Amino acid sequence: MHEKKNTILVIDDEPQVRKMLSTFLDASDFRTEESDCGRQAIRMCASIKPNLVLLELGLPDMDGKDVISEIRLWSHVPIVVLSTRTDDDEICAALDLGADDYVVKPFNTNVLMSRINANLRKAAVQQAGEPELVNGFIRMDLVRHEVYLEGKKVTMTPKEYDLLRFFMINRGKMLTHRQILHEIWGPAHGNDTQYVRVYVGQMRDKIEPDHSRPQLIITEPGVGYRMEVLPRPA
């Protein structure tokens, strides 16, 4: 089964717009989630942790600018406003509140895709300091959401990918179960340590030369895990 890559949360109260965007994004290899109102969208943003948000400002329950403000209290996810509002004051207000980009409807799909990819690249660099992460024989392309072992692409589920990225960013550091759970599954799962054990096991199956004797992801008994820092291949 082909694995989709980045997840985009589409927030728009018009069903035909959501359907059109989902079809377009799916064809471009993105996973999509949809919401037709602000409050639900804020909850979804917290639970599914999308890689990017497409937001219409005119929503039935609250103004989209308030959605931006709420999300910016706890998340740096890229927000691209996709709205019929063309007034300069509206555009400036949305950007000042934390939106990363503003595209006016109707839009050109090629332009929108360029804006999406540009904001995903910027977010990857802001998070990791670079658009890819390398640790020894492992390379992660943070823009394309691809993992390579010794140059060969390895398929990972979204959670496995997120977990590996967290280890790669923090390679050499000891990470507690609580830190891992909070980052990957959210604060509501702070005590679900079995999640970490299961997914670390699945990840080891894919990246460890001998998963029965892990040399890359090391268990710190009773505390958490640490990814060893590997030398770059010659």
- Along the 234 residues of the chain, how does pLDDT read in single tens digits? 445 578 999 999 999 999 999 999 999 889 999 999 999 999 999 888 899 999 999 999 999 999 999 999 888 899 999 998 888 888 989 998 989 899 988 888 888 998 898 888 888 776 656 778 899 899 998 877 889 998 899 988 888 888 999 999 888 888 888 888 888 877 665 567 788 888 899 999 999 888 778 888 988 887 889 999 888 766
Same domain membership, residue 145 and residue 70? no
- Packed helices 158-169 and 177-184: angle between N→C axes, nearest 10 degrees: 130
193 CB burial (10 A radius; 0-12, 13-18, 19+): middle
Domain hosting 199: range is 132-227
Domain membership flag for residue 1: no
Q: Please give the pLDDT value at position 188.
A: 63
Same domain membership, residue 174 and residue 146? yes
| Residues 176, 182: Cα–Cα separation, whole Å | 10
CATH number, position 203: 1.10.10.10
Same domain membership, residue 124 and residue 13? yes
Domain count, the chain: 2
| Residues 169, 204: Cα–Cα separation, whole Å | 17
Same domain membership, residue 140 and residue 80? no
In single-letter form, the type of residue at position 82 comes to L
Same domain membership, residue 123 and residue 148? no
| Residues 80, 110: Cα–Cα separation, whole Å | 15
Q: Please give the pLDDT value at position 1.
A: 42
Peptide bond into 106 cis (omega under 30): yes
Same domain membership, residue 210 and residue 140? yes
**Domain boundary at 99, 128, 157, which?**
128
Q: Please give the pLDDT value at position 132.
A: 84
